[in-house]
Structure 1
Amino acid sequence: MSDRITDIHAIRDVVALYCRGIDRLDFDLVRQAYHDDGIDHHTGFDGTVGGYVSWVSKSLEYLAGTMHFIGNHHVDFVDQDTAISETYVMATHWGPPGSGRRANFTTGARYVDLMERRAGRWAIAERWAVREWTRPDVFVAPEQPGPRGTRDAADPLPVLMKRFGL
């Protein structure tokens, strides 16, 4: 049983790695979430992981930010090295000041992933990003001064990780 718990945790980490990569524009992390021959089916894209990374990086460059929240997560094991993972996600997207509805929205989705363990590493073999709903949003400036996220090396996370050599 403990091996299954370890596998479930490793599979959930793949999903979290993907979300971190998208939100921080770290496309090496996004690529790591997939096997090299991985396939992605997204709204507006259907193809290989290489094509997906190229497409999503261009899709996100006009946005000021994204934030993905992982909710319910369930794993069904097909065999020792194959699993089907379903993860509920809410993803908020926002554009620069003055951008319209196309850049400012929250969407509810499910990541339905065929996960495979190859050479001891769990990763996405095929993903279906199933969009369930989308809601336009209106964003306002933060109410007080304080730390703000960035999508580069100045963000608090890479600053702290660098401090400890991570």
Structure 2
Amino acid sequence: MDGDPVTTSDHDLIREVVSRYCRGVDRLDLDLVRSAYHPGGIDHHTGFDGTVDEYLEWVGAALRRLSGTMHIIGNHLAEVSGDVAVSETYGTAVHWGEPADDPRRNFTTGFRYVDLMTRVAGRWAIRERWAVREWTRSDAGRLIAKEGAGPSGARDRTDPLYLAQDIARRLT
């Protein structure tokens, strides 16, 4: 898009990696999740340790058992030294699915992503991630229907995000 030039710092680019990961998980776009990691990257999650390829297989299966997720990221600090950075991001993730009274499918968790990131060929990405689970609470039986008509999220190309991106492409 045309307009004022955008200046992006390493800190902004590193935070964008985390945001891209969260969008990929929430939209069930595993290619977007993969783009947050370097090839051969390592991930440590509750219940999982392995390569990014193994992680995508594991997390994809877990996500398909849910109706949706929403990651909200907050505090973010990146300590950058040349082409290496340690990034810490605080967040909350909400998970929901059927049956609505299943606490393993309906829960909210507080987490920190502790990421070892490197810049390779000008591209920041995760080399190794520790997804630190700080707390979890059950939301089983608490989900209610929307109060009226309006846009709804989708975990595919019908999501309003992709509609907006398509319109933006036509405008440029």
| Range of TM-score over shorter length | over 0.9
1:84 is matched with 86
Counterpart of 2:43 (choices 40, 43, 49) is 40
Counterpart of 1:124 (choices 112, 123, 126) is 126
2:56 is matched with 53
Pair 1:62 & 2:65 matched: yes
TM-score, normalization by structure 1: 0.93
Question: RMSD between aligned alpha carbons?
Answer: 1.3
Bigger mean CA offset, 102-111 vs 139-148: 139-148
Pair 1:158 & 2:136 matched: no
Structure 1: stretches of 5+ with no match in the other structure: none
Cα displacement (A) at 1:101: 1.0
Distance in structure 2 (CA, Å) of the matches to 1:88 and 1:66:
16
Cα displacement (A) at 1:96: 3.0
* Structure 2 letter corresponding to 1:125: R
* Structure 1 letter corresponding to 2:78: V
Distance in structure 2 (CA, Å) of the matches to 1:163 and 1:62:
31
* Structure 2 letter corresponding to 1:72: N
TM-score, normalization by structure 2: 0.90
Pair 1:115 & 2:117 matched: yes
Distance in structure 2 (CA, Å) of the matches to 1:146 and 1:11:
33
Residues 100 and 143, structure 2, Cα contact 8 Å, conserved in 1: no
1:162 is paired with a residue of what secondary structure?
helix
Give the paired residue count.
Answer: 161
* Structure 1 letter corresponding to 2:119: R
Cα displacement (A) at 1:165: 2.9
Distance in structure 2 (CA, Å) of the matches to 1:75 and 1:164:
31
Bigger mean CA offset, 94-103 vs 32-41: 94-103
Question: In structure 2, do the counterparts of structure 1 residues 97 and 142 end up closer, same or farther at CA, with 3 Å as the change threshold?
Answer: farther
Bigger mean CA offset, 46-55 vs 99-108: 99-108
2:145 is paired with a residue of what secondary structure?
coil
**Identity in percent:** 60
Distance in structure 2 (CA, Å) of the matches to 1:123 and 1:99:
37
* Structure 2 letter corresponding to 1:25: L
1:152 is paired with a residue of what secondary structure?
coil
Cα displacement (A) at 1:99: 4.7
1:95 is matched with 97
Q: Deviation per CA, 1:72-111, whole angstroms, max 9, x where unpaired?
A: 000112x200010000010000003535111000000000
* Structure 2 letter corresponding to 1:13: E
